[in-house]
Chain A
């Protein structure tokens, strides 16, 4: 079977991802539906009378897959911002490259409102 590691680690990872996502919204991550659901689900499915419970393993696998999804999306977006997110230079910046400045016309150009 796939090497998943202890469920506690998966839960920690998921909560960490939640924390990163909630950091932008200002709302504490413990306040979100997702947090409550995750903690409840992990607690509820922890106990099983069978030694080698396939359903439990399936759920853990799903949680680990979801964690992989969240983590790789976050890292992908971060890499995109760092390396591919700059876009074109503005006209001012392009002029500044060769040491020029854009002309400043007091009163604006004729066609502007």
Chain B
């Protein structure tokens, strides 16, 4: 009942946050964004992270005209203030309900970049979830998967992310249908 839950959360606003606070909470995640936080070993995982995550970072940097970069340090990536500002003003274009949805997806995927990718239709839900769970999928490939844990959690994450994404899009869109006459 994820969509209903999101609606109820938006109606009740149980954490009593205003728009600014929601936006800042979401952008704060950038400091520990999954796709910016890289490992140093094993070598194959480093490669995998580079091949899968770098394209998304590049896309985001180009799309928003900001610098993000990745880091292997324990402190995480250092995000320039300008990047933060740009993202804050971009998120400000969404309404309160959509922001609840965005913050929900960010919390699920542990990544602002992946969430932006979903909102801008750059990634499908399945792709975003896979990228979010990249290390886990890597370990599953190596050591085998446990159906009652791995598959269970994967389906749950997909369901929540799909619900959040759908929620944001439905809260943000406006549909106009223009019927054109067929030229004979």
Contact = CB atoms under 8 A, between A and B. Distances in A.
A76 B153 CA distance: 8
Interface in A33-59: 44, 49, 57-58
A72 B124 contact: no
A73 B122 CA distance: 23
B124 A2 contact: yes
B121 interface: yes
A7 B165 CA distance: 19
Contact of B122 (A1, A64, A80): A1
State which size class the interface on A falls in: 20 to 34
B143 interface: no
For chain B, the bracket of interface size reads 20 to 34
Please classify the interface of chain B as helix (H, G, I), strand (E, B), loop, or mixed, using the class held by over half of its residues: helix
Contacts of A84: 148, 152
Interface of B: 2-3, 121-127, 147-148, 151-152, 155-156, 158-159, 162-163, 165-166, 169-170, 173, 177, 180
The 7 closest A-B pairs by CB, nearest first: A83-B148, A69-B162, A76-B155, A72-B158, A72-B159, A68-B162, A72-B155
Given A66-B162, A68-B158, A83-B147, 17 more contacts: A1-B122, A2-B127, A3-B124, A49-B180, A58-B173, A62-B170, A64-B125, A65-B125, A69-B2, A69-B158, A69-B162, A69-B166, A73-B155, A73-B159, A79-B147, A80-B152, A83-B148
Interface of A: 1-4, 44, 49, 57-58, 61-62, 64-66, 68-69, 72-73, 75-76, 79-80, 82-84
